[in-house]
Each structure stands twice: as C-alpha cells, then as structure tokens.
C-alpha cells in the first residue's frame, strides 16, 4: 500500500489558478488563493479547494504544508537543446559563428552514448531544481542522444518532448546525416518512443540552412504519416541567417516558405524565435494555427532581436516560452520570464506577472498540444508542480514585504528570483 500512496499527496499553501488565458483575456483570468490545497492521487490532481475542506475530504493523504509559498503548475520549457548544457554562457559570438565555434564541437561529443546520458541527467537535474517539469528538447544528430534523453526522463517519470536533430549540410561531417538516414533514424526513434509512458517524439529538422531540400521533403513526408507528432525547428532568428536562407532557397518566397514547400508547416509545428517575420509569414502562421516559441534570453544573449509578443498575440497565434539552452543564458524559467518582461518593455508592452506565469506554464503547454493536461492546476491534470518561496533571498524578501498584493510578490520573484526560489518540484505526483 506504500506503493499506492507514493503518487498521492496533499499540498497546502497559496495556489495559482488559471480561470482562462491571461495573455489573451487579461490578468483577471488568473487567481491566487490563500490557504488552499491540491490533492494528488495516482500522479494526477484529484481536487483543489480551501485547505480545511480538502483535509476533511482526503484524510488519508499525507500533507505537505507550504504556508505562504505559492503552489504553481511546473514550468514548461518549449524549446531547449539539452546537448548544449555544458556550453551555456559562451562568450562573444552571434548565431552562425556561435554554432560553429561552440555548439557543433560540443554536439560531436554525443557520439558517445555514456556522455549523452551524463549530460541528459545533469540537464534534467538542473532544470528540475529550477522548477521545470516538462521540456521540448532538440537532441543531436546521433540517435543514441535521443535514447539517452528519453531514458533519463523515463527514470524520473517526467513528461518530455524530444527528437533527433536532422542536418545533412553546412555542418561538420561528423554531425551530418543524409536525407535517407535522417528519415530512417527519425522513424525508428518515433516508433520506439512516441507515446511510451510520458514521452513524445518530435520531428526535428534543425533549421533550413543545415537541411537539403531532399531532407526537408523526407521529414515533411514523415510528419504527414504521423500527424499526431509535433515538429520543431528554428525560424527567422537573425538577419544574416535569413539572408543565407534566401541564398540557399532562391525559389522560396521567404524563410517560412522553405518549410511550407516541403510539408513542414502546420498546427503541430513549433517555430522557435520567429523574430524577423514578414507580414506574409505572420499571416501564414496564423492561418495554419502554428505555434511560435519565444526564447527571450537567447534572443538578447546571441544578439538576435526583439520578439513581437503583442503583435503575435493579437494575431491569435499560440505562444510558448523557452530558455533555448544553451543559446539562452539560463536554465531558469523565472529568469526567462524576466527577460520576456524586459523585451516587452523595449517594445512598449508591459506583461503582467499573471501573463508571464501563464506563458511559462499553460501557454507553453498549449503549444505542445497539452492544454489542460500540464501547465495548470485543475482536476484531472497531471501532477507536475513547482512550489515557489516568494521571499527566497533578502533582496526579494524586503521587496515582497512592501507588496500590496500577491501578484506584486510574484513579480518580485520573477524579476529577482532563481533556483533558490524553488522550494520543491513535484513530477507526476512525486517530490523530485
């Protein structure tokens, strides 16, 4: 019976509730309830409500009392490269020379499955400590790097999305596959992992410059055979990258068209960065209902540009938030929300704490096709949670003491917080 109780718990404290989507409907679509509780059974949220009521209704559940801490959905990081864990914060380059100088040499090490597993474990430990319970990760071009990541996540009972990064040109020989091997390896990995436990396979062409038209076409065909799979790639991150894409695909109307013409544009597509979009590209993304992933610390760190959050929300696009480790400069979704806030300010749009927290949880979950399943504290949702100490450092505590409402406290932790603010992370109803 101890086995049965393992994924069962009662967590009491302050609780963050989504009544709607604050990014679309305004901050009023969110609530913070004092002295509430979350009941967890079989790895799912069974009930929520005032703590007293829940204690009476679930007397068998062992209670963890979080007091003034905030119980939130676990963070969902919608675009990461776990293989870049050990090159995070590498100095002085922009996208293409950053890839050549730091990224590709590091990714070459993943031909060693033991190395891949060690980095996967380290990555999942670091992000769990930062309150992240779900990620969508690129692996390297080595199929074993995909197995390593899914195995590490499976050992933690963690919901993850990942795929083999496909690239057959404009990269070191040792990292290049071919159109055929990318198709065969992706199909085999998809068959092995998609839907196994909490794993989802994501078809993953790195970006147009490193795929031949033949490879893009092969992956488009694979996606057509598996429309329930997501597809992730990069789009319009830096201006010189965009100029290079125009040279490589002279017949394409624009960057997005290099995906669309090969069957790689759709509602299950996750387009990372998407900064320098033309009006036509925004129209097409909106028409097909694609998802765009904002990677704010990466966009400033590599010098890419300022994402147009308000403009894309107004077009009805689903938006996710992501660290883009290791082009991004942090493993923390708190730091990532702070960067999104600052970029919003530079574009004349101040995001409310409720909008930032929603983006980092339910917003990203929506882009992964997981609305209602993760990223929200609601009955039936998977019990992936993050508990935030809203006074985790002296600097935050003195600001929180002056706060006039709970959102002001949350905002101080967003702007000033790091992994010290993460009291606990619960994955599938278990404290990690």
Contact region with Zn ion (CB under 5 A), list: 28-36, 203-211, 266-274, 337-345:
266-274
The answer to whether 185 and 203 have CB atoms below 8 angstroms apart is no
Q: How far is the CB of 299 from ligand GUN (least distance, A)?
A: 9
Give the ranges where 261-405 is alpha helix by DSSP (H).
279-288, 296-301, 309-314, 333-346, 353-358, 364-367, 394-400
Alpha-helical regions (H) of 176-295? 179-193, 213-225, 239-248, 255-260, 279-288
Site for Zn ion in 378-407 (CB under 5 A): none
417 scored as a contact of ligand GUN (CB under 6 A): no
Total residues at the site for Zn ion (CB under 5 A)?
2
**Please, which residue, 85 or 392, has the CB nearer to ligand GUN?**
85
Strand-pair partners of 165: 204
Determine which residue in the list 44, 142, 234, 399 makes contact with ligand GUN, applying CB under 6 A.
Answer: 234
Which partner in Zn ion, ligand GUN, none is near 237 (CB below 5 to 8 A by kind)? Answer: ligand GUN
Distances (CA, A) of 384 to 151, 268, 420, 429: 19, 23, 19, 7
Q: Which is nearer to Zn ion, 241 or 324 (CB)?
A: 324
Q: How many CA atoms lie within 13 A of 201 on its CB side?
A: 24
Cβ 210 to ligand GUN, closest distance in Å? 7
Q: Does 237 bind ligand GUN (CB under 6 A)?
A: yes
Contact predicate 317/310, CB 8 Å: no
Of 58, 81, 128, 318, which one interacts with ligand GUN (CB under 6 A)?
A: 81
Q: Which of residues 135-194 bind ligand GUN (CB under 6 A)?
A: none
Q: Tell me the C-alpha distance between 74 and 60, whole Å.
A: 25
Instruction: Give the single-character DSSP code of 279.
Output: H
298 lies in the site for ligand GUN, by CB under 6 A:
yes
Residue nearest to ligand GUN (CB): 327
Q: Write out the two tokens for 200.
A: 């989802």
Nearer to Zn ion, 64 or 211 (CB): 211
- Rounded least distance, CB 337 to ligand GUN, Å: 19
Using the minimum distance from each CB to Zn ion, give the nearer residue, 327 or 375. 327
Binding residues for ligand GUN restricted to 84-143, rule: CB under 6 A: 95, 99, 103
140 binds, among Zn ion, ligand GUN, none (CB under 5 to 8 A by kind): none
To ligand GUN, the closest distance from the beta carbon of 286 in angstroms equals 23
Max CA distance (Å), the chain: 68
Which distant-in-sequence residues (6+ apart) come within 8 Å of 337 by Cβ?
A: 321, 356, 357, 359, 360, 414
Q: Confirm or reject binding of residue 324 to ligand GUN (CB under 6 A).
A: yes
Exactly one of 74, 205, 327, 363 binds ligand GUN (CB under 6 A); that residue is: 327
Secondary structure of residue 431 in the 3-state scheme = strand
By CB under 6 A, the residues from 395 to 414 that bind ligand GUN are: none
Instruction: Please identify, using beta-carbon distances, which residue of 210 and 392 lies nearer to ligand GUN.
Output: 210
Could you give the C-alpha distances from 295 to 166, 196, 340, 353, 386, in angstroms and in order?
21, 28, 8, 17, 21
The reply on whether position 308 binds ligand GUN by CB under 6 A is no
How many angstroms separate the CA atoms of 405 and 348, rounded? 24
Tell me which residues in 302-331 interact with Zn ion (CB under 5 A).
Answer: 324
- Residues linked to residue 30 through DSSP beta bridges, in sequence order: 18
Closest to ligand GUN by CB, 41 or 234: 234
CA distance 245 to 239: 10
* Cβ-based nearer residue to ligand GUN, 85 or 103: 103
For Zn ion, which stretch binds (CB under 5 A), given 39-47, 126-134, 271-279, 402-410?
Answer: 271-279
Residue number with CB closer to ligand GUN (73 or 327): 327
36 binds ligand GUN (CB under 6 A): no
DSSP 268: T
Please check whether residue 243 is in contact with residue 193, taking contact to mean a CB–CB distance below 8 angstroms.
no
Positions that interact with ligand GUN (CB under 6 A): 81, 95, 99, 103, 206-207, 234, 237, 298, 324, 327
Positions that interact with Zn ion (CB under 5 A): 272, 324
């Amino acid at each position: 019976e101890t086995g049965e109780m393992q994924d069962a718990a009662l967590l009491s404290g302050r609780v963050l509730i989504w009544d709607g989507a604050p990014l679309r409907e305004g901050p009023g679509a969110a609530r913070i309830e004092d002295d509430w509780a979350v009941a967890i059974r079989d790895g799912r949220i069974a009930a929520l409500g005032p703590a007293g009521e829940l204690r009476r209704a679930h007397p068998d559940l062992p209670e963890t009392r979080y007091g003034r801490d905030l119980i939130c959905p676990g963070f969902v990081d919608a675009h990461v490269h776990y293989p870049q864990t050990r090159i995070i914060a590498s100095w002085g380059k922009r996208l293409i020379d950053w890839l050549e100088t730091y990224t590709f040499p590091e990714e070459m090490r993943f031909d060693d499955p033991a190395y891949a597993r060690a980095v996967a474990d380290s990555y999942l430990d670091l992000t769990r400590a930062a309150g992240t319970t779900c990620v969508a990760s690129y692996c390297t071009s080595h199929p074993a790097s995909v197995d390593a990541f899914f195995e590490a996540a499976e050992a933690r009972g963690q919901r993850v999305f990942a795929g083999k990064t496909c690239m057959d040109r404009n990269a070191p020989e040792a990292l290049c596959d071919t159109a055929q091997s990318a198709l065969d390896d992706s199909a085999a990995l998809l068959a092995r992992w998609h839907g196994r436990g909490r794993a989802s396979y994501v078809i993953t062409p790195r970006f147009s410059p490193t795929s031949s038209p033949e490879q893009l076409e092969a992956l488009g065909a694979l996606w057509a055979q598996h429309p329930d799979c997501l597809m992730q790639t990069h789009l319009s991150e830096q201006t010189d990258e965009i100029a290079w894409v125009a040279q490589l695909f002279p017949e394409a109307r624009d960057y997005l068209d290099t995906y669309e013409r090969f069957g790689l544009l759709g509602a299950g597509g996750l387009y990372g960065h998407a900064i320098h979009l033309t009006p036509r590209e925004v129209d097409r993304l909106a028409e097909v209902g694609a998802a765009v992933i904002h990677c704010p610390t990466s966009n400033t760190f590599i010098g890419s540009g300022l994402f147009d959050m308000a403009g894309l929300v107004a077009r009805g696009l689903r938006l996710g938030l992501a660290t883009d480790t290791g082009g991004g400069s942090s493993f923390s979704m708190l730091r990532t929300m702070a960067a999104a806030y600052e970029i919003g300010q530079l574009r004349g749009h101040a995001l409310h704490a409720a909008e930032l927290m929603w983006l980092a949880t339910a917003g990203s979950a929506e882009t992964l096709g997981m609305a209602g399943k993760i990223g929200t504290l609601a009955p039936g949702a998977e019990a992936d949670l993050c508990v935030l100490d809203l006074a985790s450092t002296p600097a935050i505590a003195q600001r929180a003491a002056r706060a006039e409402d709970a959102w002001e406290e949350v905002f101080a932790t967003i702007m000033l917080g790091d992994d010290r603010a993460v009291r606990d992370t619960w994955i599938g109803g278990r404290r990690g």
